Structure 1
Amino acid sequence: MRVIRRQLLTTAVAALSACSAMPPGQTLELGAQRLSYTRAGPAGRSPVVVFQSGLGDGKSVWAEVIGRVAPEMAVFAYDRPGYGQSGNVPVAAAAPPRDPCTTARELHALLRATGVRPPYVLVGHSVGGLYQYAFARLFPGEVAAVLLLDPTHPEHWARMQREAPAAARLVGGLRATVFAPAMQAEFDAQARPECLAELRAAAPPAVPVRLLVRSSFGLGEGEAFQDLARRLEAQWPALLPGATRRQVERSGHYIQKDRPDVVAEELRALVKATAAGPAAAAP
């Protein structure tokens, strides 16, 4: 999660322009939540590409990528609670924390409720990459492949505070002053110990895993932060065995916006490789 470079004003403008390119959305009541989702692509096509957005982003952040791949593959994207057209995050004291495990289970339930069957090619950006990692660990039999874009490592925030304290202070200031409630809830629960312990104990899927990382950093992301980011990138094969890394030229943190062509290219390669294999059957 590289929230330092979020560029609040330009992100809002980009999101508005992307919305018009998204396929029509639908809403569904799932428990106490109203969730907005989009399905596109050929009916019955498998595997299904499932997108998960980063902190503060709705599904429209994937508009350019979906526009490129939907003619040839089935896709699914949604707004998490508090984002886009979905309802707000529950505020009741009994509401579960917005940690990666909760979010992964929420997405799993939404896929089932909307009739989107496995196998899935999981795509996640920033903290959405952490959430898709959690999904892959919790539901390995339903995953065909994983594509992560500049993903948040489970230890990212803890190590950032120790190894890049100046950047951590800036993020802490943003959290206190500009993060919306949904962003605060997710940020605060990203490294919830109970969830991370559950993920460590679960076996990862034996599927292709591709990591796309940026080639440039933004203001506030100094040398200490950059060094930490590269070290954490190198640790992903230990979390998802077999993960391979590609540094995307002419790209910042928002690889799906800067280089949608590369993301589409990687998706085509993954879908082609997995579609010929045995389908991951749901229990």
Structure 2
Amino acid sequence: MRRFDKVDLGYEVAVSPVSGDSLVPIVFINALDTSQDQWDDVLTHLPGQPTITYDRPGIGASGPLPSHLRDQPRTLGDLADELRVLLDKLGIDTPHLVVGHSIGGLIALKYSERYADNTAGIVLVDATTLDHLGASTWPEHEGGEDKPGSSRLDPIGSFAEIQDAVWPPTPAVVVGSAVGRWLRLTPDEAEEYGPRTPEELDEQWQQGQQLLAEKIDALLVVADHAGHDIPTDQPELIAVGILAVIRAIDDRSLVTIPAAQLRSAGGSTDRRSGGPRSPS
């Protein structure tokens, strides 16, 4: 059973730290309106690794934002700052690997830019693309109407924060969902994204993953059998990407994944941007 620590940030945040042998803690950042148990299947493939999972306010086991903060719009940068405060409270001051899924991937990107000295590596898991961030309709609060104590999102401000940001060389992997996964939408689901067709959405999403990989000079991997929920569909592949980044950090080398290991985990890649080295 997961053990939660409750950390006071002016509101109560539930965090689950696990100790391990590696010198590089792994910090996981959840998808929209998703609790930290979304990473449980991934964690089973990372025995002995120090990990930190947490819930943003009003989500999962975390308490709601206080009333005076609930109507203040929060950007990705604000959520990255919140994570930094949480890690400071936990005494995490060594460089760490940040892993983010969906909108959590963009929070990880903003965190790694704003706190570059604290970031040893990055893994993005089917991160929300810039096109999707700018063009889609988002709920007023992260948890929707049922969770008014969750963060009020500011997608316009968040888009501006990410669009022109520049990242220092950092070992990184981008894990994208399978080509064609948007074609699995039901007619009702597809209508939510109109007038774009599922075919257009799929092409835009794959191009968006490529763009994110180029922005951070990352190794791009495709989860050949996964929809958007890669942490559940193909958790081993995420673990393979994480361990590849940790090897690059430890060895101060290129991020690489042996082809046989990649195939065994259900992944593929024929594109990479050059392979960053660990900062000197």
**Once the 2 structures are TM-superposed, how far is the Cα of residue 179 of structure 1 from its aligned partner?**
6.3
Match of 1:67 among 23, 35, 44: 44
Percentage identity across paired residues of the two chains? 22
**Once the 2 structures are TM-superposed, how far is the Cα of residue 263 of structure 1 from its aligned partner?**
0.9
Match of 1:56 among 17, 25, 33: 33
Contact 2:73-2:151 within 8 A present in 1 as well: no
Match of 2:108 among 108, 112, 132: 132
Match of 1:37 among 5, 10, 15: 15
Contact 1:155-1:191 within 8 A present in 2 as well: no
Distance 1:147 1:38 in 2: 19
State the structure with bigger RCO (CA 8 A, min sep 6), 1 or 2: 1
Where do 1:1-283 residues align within 5 Å? 20=1, 23-30=2-9, 32-42=10-20, 45-69=22-46, 71-92=47-68, 96-160=72-136, 180-181=147-148, 185-186=152-153, 189-192=154-157, 195-199=158-162, 203-215=166-178, 216-217=181-182, 218-219=184-185, 220-221=189-190, 222-240=198-216, 242-277=217-252
TM-score normalized with structure 2 length = 0.77
Contact 1:119-1:280 within 8 A present in 2 as well: no
Which residue identity lines up with residue 20 of structure 2 in the other structure? P
**Once the 2 structures are TM-superposed, how far is the Cα of residue 266 of structure 1 from its aligned partner?**
1.3
SS in 1 for 2:14: strand
Deviations 1:47-78 (A, max 9, x none): 11000000010111101111221x22111110
Distance 1:151 1:246 in 2: 12
Contact 1:137-1:199 within 8 A present in 2 as well: no
Distance 1:174 1:79 in 2: 15
SS in 2 for 1:151: coil
Query: What is the RMSD of the two structures over their aligned residues, measured on CA atoms?
Result: 2.9
Residue ranges of structure 2 left out of the alignment (5+ in a row) = 191-197, 253-276
SS in 1 for 2:20: coil
Q: 1:119 to 1:173 in 2, by over 3 A?
A: closer
Contact 2:55-2:61 within 8 A present in 1 as well: yes
Q: How many equivalent pairs are there? A: 243
TM-score normalized with structure 1 length = 0.76
Task: Give the structure with the higher percent helix.
Answer: 1
